[in-house]
Structure 1
Amino acid sequence: MGASGSTGAGDVSDGLRDDVRAARRIVVKIGSSSLTTNGGGLEPERIAALVDVLAEVRARGAEVVLVSSGAIAAGLTPLGLATRPSALALQQAAASVGQGLLVHHYQQEFARHSILTGQVLLTVDDVIRRASYRNAHQTFAALLDLGAVPVVNENDTVATSEIRFGDNDRLAALVAHLVHADLLVLLSDVDALYDGPPSRPGVRRLVDVRSDDDLADVEIGSVGSAVGTGGMVTKVEAARIATGAGIPVVLTSADNAGAALAGAPVGTLFHATGRRRPIRQLWLAHATEGKGSVVLDAGAVRAVVERGASLLAAGVTGVKGSFVAGDPVDLVGPDGATVARGLVNFDAAEIPGLLGRSTGDLKEEFGDAYDRALVHRDDLVLL
């Protein structure tokens, strides 16, 4: 394994993390389990401690966006619910009651430092629809320019089981893309990523993760806390999303937040593996699902993947699903593997009549409206 490890959470290497210390726009995500005690209601002292840390980050000149779980957990006690309910309607009811309580606590605590907060509730639709995605970006930019700390959560009150992020780790990674963050910090009740269950004797802490190769021998659990929906699987996936677009990620516990944001080598640092990409490509890659698919021949796969070309009808051999022009669709090779996703320029019903034909032929027969690619390269991202 390429990552360096240790046998205890207290063992750290020498030196500070320069990328962390240099970050000027930071997204911090905190899980429900870090804001509650034994699966119960909110613990104001924990919120106060987190806000004190974030205020210190602000004082040194960095901007902060906070993605906070805890709305459903905050609503349990007032509604007389002993545990997080499984029924979606009850979850939404708890979120409706708890979101106001959660934000009120943050407003009070940030006010001690003369810092304003702004609530931002997002649904998947807000990042799938291009116009909403752009509007969300502009809202974040305005809040940050005005000196406020955006407090973000999934809009659990209206999200459906079919249309939801499912966890705030992925949401935080997408928000980090959205605001062009320099750093994403994931805080939970686990102090780092280990190569096995932290309770197992002899497990090693991964100090640095530089690629997926460093995770090859790591046992990653799948169960979150009693009041949350995430787990280590979602945190590692969130780290992949962010680092793949050039944003480093620190994973550690809420108790280590101050040290982590100061650049101390606590927790696990996932190093950036890719480069920043246009918002549209990030949106396509991480905030959409294909409404259908088009099947490419081998030549079209090479053109799209190796040469960065647009997808022309001449290279398409089939179409699956029901979609309309402007929808995201998966581009599938002859072997059935998805190679890319893009915004299609034609309805699914139109495409069978275009298959295998050159753009020139289509223009001549059907007119200028058909003088365009099936999927333009600017509306396409490799997967």
Structure 2
Amino acid sequence: MGKRQVVTRASRVVVKVGSSSLTNRGGGLDAVRVDALVDALGDRLGAGVELVLVSSGAIATGLPTLKISRRPRDLATQQAAASVGQGILLAHYTGAFARHGRTVGQVLLTAEDVIRRSHYRNAQRTLYRLLELGVVPIVNENDTVATDEIRFGDNDRLAALVAHLVQADLLVLLSDVDGLYDGPPSRDGSSLITDVRGESDLAGVEVGGTGSGVGLGGMVTKVEAARIATSAGIPVVLTSADNAASALSGAAVGTLFHATGERSGTRLLWLRHATAGRGGLTLDPGAVDAVVRRRLSLLPAGITSVTGVFVAGDPVDLLDENGNTVARGLVNFDSTELPGLLGRSTRDLARELGPAYEREVVHRDDLVVLRP
């Protein structure tokens, strides 16, 4: 079987590796596994490919040092473990990549960093500059400061969004499973799906599980990450970390998710997939039509109610009269300001309150439609 051309032609690749592929079963870094992964990546770097590595494993790596036997459930202890483990993990990556003559740079992200315009541009500029300098960016969610409200929740989704952020040609998801199966891999009769060209190829596929005892991801998050990337024009290879070298060389291992869409605005992809609404704005039927069908900005005249607590610049959900979320956008007013503006024209508001109140509640450039 020939090489996969979407892989061999890729000049910029994002690789994501899960905790279970880097650590021992009970936690703690597995140096042999890390070195094997870096050797596989080093071969592609030597061939002139630019690489971004999205690496899980900080929490799991920190557990033995803190004498914790299993992944903690409370956020504070997770953050403590990540604080300890991230340094250990990065130190090992630094040494392993140095053997291939490469420097690494740490990039820690929270969802907050990429939903606000200035923040996401800073993240993008940093990643681009690291690649220009020949540095391998090591990206992880910033578990030490992220709260439940601003977490990505899994590095599969983060990897898909980073792939779009850096305009990658390929995303490779590495885990402890060698690909996507049409049923549980351990069950007799389950078959590996070699290619996914669209949603029809996933019909009837049983996707479940929550991953290893030290990680968060499972096959559900990997398939969702593949959807995010492929809808933005980026093909995805899903396979095991043991197959990393083969996958990166273009061998037909694991599952190839073919690109289904075209590249779109980076920030709107983040808004769609990396955020949750901090509050809700209920729209009248006319405003729903304007936002969803005509893709216009949301004005205060079309809003009937406000829920939640948020400030200007936060993502909010736009709801129809039945409470269904139809869109999400970055709001231009605080939740405390909006109730007094509802149902009124921007012209009247500007005349009474000043020109600052003539602007849209959500501008169409800061809005994504979620439900047609």
TM-score (norm 1): 0.90
- How large is the RMSD of aligned CA atoms in angstroms? 2.0
- Give the secondary-structure state (helix, strand or coil) at the position aligned to 2:53: strand
What does the per-residue CA deviation read over 1:132-162, in whole Å, with 9 as the maximum and x for residues that have no partner?
A: 2221111111111100001112222333344
Contact 2:282–2:305 at 8 Å: present in 1 too?
A: yes
User: Residues 33 and 39 of structure 1 are in contact (CA less than 8 Å); yes or no, is this contact kept in structure 2?
Assistant: no
TM superposition shift of 1:190: 0.2
Whether 1:102 aligns to 2:89 is yes
Between 275-284 and 144-153, the greater mean CA deviation after superposition: 275-284
2:145 matched residue in structure 1: 158
Look up the match of 1:274: 261
Instruction: Give the stretch that moved more between structures: 352-361 or 68-77.
Output: 352-361
Question: Map of 1:293-332 to 2, 5 A cutoff?
Answer: 293-332=280-319
Match in the other structure for 1:88: 75
Change (3 A) 1:369 1:37: closer
Tell me, yes or no, if structure 1 residue 56 matches structure 2 residue 56: no
Partner residue of 1:117?
104
Contact 2:114 2:267 in 1 (8 A): no
> What is the rounded CA distance, in whole Å, between the counterparts of 2:307 and 2:73 in structure 1?
35
State the partner residue of 1:345. Answer: 332
1:88/1:298 CA distance change after superposition, 3 Å? closer
Contact 2:155 2:217 in 1 (8 A): yes
Could you give the per-residue CA deviations for residues 96-152 of structure 1, whole angstroms, max 9, x where no partner exists? 222222111111111111111111122233223332222111111111110000111
Aligned to 1:21: 8
Which whole-Å deviations, capped at 9, do the CAs of 1:73-107 have from their partners, x for residues lacking one?
22233333333333434333332222222111111
What is the letter of the counterpart of residue 191 of structure 1? D
Q: What does residue range 1-383 of structure 1 map to in structure 2 within 5 Å?
A: 14-383=1-370
User: SS in structure 2 opposite 1:206?
Assistant: coil
Q: In structure 2, do the counterparts of structure 1 residues 92 and 354 end up closer, same or farther at CA, with 3 Å as the change threshold?
A: closer
- Aligned residues: percent identity? 68
Distance of 1:92 and 1:353 partners within structure 2: 40
What is the Cα deviation at residue 327 of structure 1? 2.1
Letter in 1 for 2:58: A
Contact 2:115 2:267 in 1 (8 A): no
User: Would the alpha carbon gap of residues 76 and 266 (structure 1) be closer, same or farther in structure 2, given more than 3 Å must change?
Assistant: same
For normalisation by structure 2, the TM-score amounts to: 0.92
* Cα distance in 1 for residues equivalent to 2:217 and 2:249: 26
Aligned-pair CA distance for 1:51? 1.0
Structure 2 unaligned segments of length 5 or more: list them.
Answer: none
